[in-house]
Structure 1
Amino acid sequence: MSQPILYSLRRCPYAMRARIALLLARQTVKLRDVVMKNIPAELLAASPKGTVPVLVFEDSRVIDESLDIMLWALQQNDPNDLLNSKRPDALASMLAIIKRNDMEFVDALEKYKTAARYHDSAEKTYRQQCEDLISPLEQSLGKNDYLMGARPTLADYALLPFLRQFSRVDRKWFINAPYPNLHRWLNTHYQNPIYSIAMTQYPQWADSHQEFLFGGG
């Protein structure tokens, strides 16, 4: 069977989620790195909303939500037990953390990023909204190495791309911000070879029409 096609964008946090999960699940895909200003017709045909990531299977089945791609990959193979299969309530707890991130933190983060970009006077207000949402995470990381315990889970990898973005909006401020546990958590992820592989830059599909095998064992 042919490998699925993953339409991705290197710096998109949602696409980053999908790539990390595929690597951790050792699932091979054919990666097409796209430019959102020049969305391929093939991507639009598969998913008219025109965002990444999009995973397209040989039988024309499509998964076009990042969390669904993560879950699909880990349901195929979860060698590190990121779904914490021995705890029946674990997945619900992870999904609750991820939902809060996606529904609340991402909105505040986008406002913070925009305000910082345009030197808007509301920048600190939006940053404080973000801080209100990461404070519980900082507290959790003060008790455990990862968000749900001594080892990483789906929740850690689902939130990583967005917390990474938050840390980079104003790097000087963040370096001195009172979030030592979040600093440690981010650095631990950055030092994981999976992160470097997930962030590898590939030639853009629009220019080369080249596919690259990505993931696998």
Structure 2
Amino acid sequence: MTTPILYSLRQCPYAMRARLGILHAQQVVELRDIDMNNKPQEMLSISPKGTVPVLELNKGSIIDESIEIMVWALTQSDPSNLLYSHDQNQLPMMLELIENNDITFVGALQKYRAASRYHDDNETECRDMCCEWLREIEQRLSQHAYIMGKTPSLVDYAILPFIRQFSRVDKKWYAQAPFPYLRGWLVNHYNDPTFSKAMVGYPKWSINSDPVLFG
């Protein structure tokens, strides 16, 4: 079987998810960082919606949803037990929490970022909407080091890119916000070499590029 191909974009939070999942699963892929203003036909031909990440496993077999890529990778290998295989009830709970993040928090985060960028009067209101969801995460982190328990799980790495975005909208406010456990959790991730590796930038891919192996 040929090496899977991952179409990616370093600063995209969904693509960041895929990178983190692949790294933690110790899988190797050919990484193709793309220019979203000049999307390669090779990607569009297998995933016409034109968003990243896209994982091509082999001809005709693709995964183009970030969480599905993470679960696929960790199903191949999960040395840190991010899927909590010791408890079969955990994965459905994780996926439900991630879906809630993607619907409730990400929607509010997009409004908050836009309000901050354009100095809208409703910036505080949008931030408060984010905080409603974050209070549950803070409460969980007040009980143990990670969102689901004492060790990291799929959830931690799935929501990490979005918490990172939230923390950067208004850094001064975030530094004194009532989320001390969340801040500590985020700093721990920043200090993790795996996160640094996921954030490495690569030249934009073209048909003439040399293969970049990642994982």
Verify same fold: TM over 0.5: yes
Partner of 1:151: 151
Letter in 2 for 1:96: E
Question: What SS does structure 2 have at the residue aligned with 1:143?
Answer: coil
8 Å contact kept, 1:35–1:206: no
Is it true that 1:102 corresponds to 2:102 in the alignment? yes
Query: Sequence identity of aligned pairs in percent?
Result: 53
8 Å contact kept, 1:38–1:206: no
Partner of 2:193: 193
Question: What SS does structure 2 have at the residue aligned with 1:136?
Answer: helix
Is it true that 1:139 corresponds to 2:114 in the alignment? no
For structure 2, the residue ranges without an aligned partner over 5 or more in a row are none
Partner of 1:37: 37
Shift of 1:206: 4.0
| Residues 63-212 of structure 1: pairs in structure 2 closer than 5 A | 63-206=63-206, 209-212=209-212
For structure 1, the residue ranges without an aligned partner over 5 or more in a row are none
Letter in 2 for 1:100: N
Once the two structures are superposed, residues 69-115 of structure 1 have per-residue CA deviations (whole angstroms, 9 ceiling, x without a partner) of: 00000000001111001102100111111011011100000010111
**C-alpha distance in 1 between matches for 2:51 and 2:167:** 24
The 1:210/1:117 distance shift into structure 2, 3 A limit, reads: farther
**C-alpha distance in 1 between matches for 2:103 and 2:60:** 29
**C-alpha distance in 2 between matches for 1:92 and 1:4:** 27
Once the two structures are superposed, residues 134-154 of structure 1 have per-residue CA deviations (whole angstroms, 9 ceiling, x without a partner) of: 001001100110001100000
The 1:124/1:208 distance shift into structure 2, 3 A limit, reads: farther
Letter in 2 for 1:146: Y
Question: What SS does structure 2 have at the residue aligned with 1:30?
Answer: strand
Aligned length: 215
Shift of 1:207: 8.9
**C-alpha distance in 1 between matches for 2:171 and 2:210:** 35
Q: Provide the alpha-carbon RMSD of the alignment.
A: 1.1
